[in-house]
Amino acid sequence: MDLKSKFELEFPIQASPHMLYQYISSASGLSEWFADNVNSRGEIFSFFWDGAEEKAKLISSKSNLFVKYRWLDESDDQDKCFFEIRIVVDEITKDVSLIVTDFSFDDEIEESKMLWDNQISDLKQLVGST
- Tens of pLDDT, residue by residue over 76-128, are 666 678 999 999 999 999 999 999 999 998 999 999 999 999 999 999 999 99
CA 115 to chain centre: 11
* DSSP class of 3: -
Q: What length does the chain have?
A: 130
Q: What is the pLDDT of residues 27-68, one digit of tens each?
A: 999 999 999 999 999 999 999 999 899 999 999 999 999 999
Q: Report, as an integer, the average pLDDT of 9-37.
A: 96
Homologous superfamily in CATH for domain 5-127:
START domain (3.30.530.20)
Query: For the whole model, what pTM was predicted?
Result: 0.91
DSSP label of 30: H
Q: Three-state secondary structure along 56-111?
A: EEEEEEECCCEEEEEECCCCCCCCCCCEEEEEEECCCCCCEEEEEEEEECHHHHHH
Domain assignments of the chain as residue spans, ordered by start: 5-127
Q: What is the pLDDT of residue 4?
A: 86
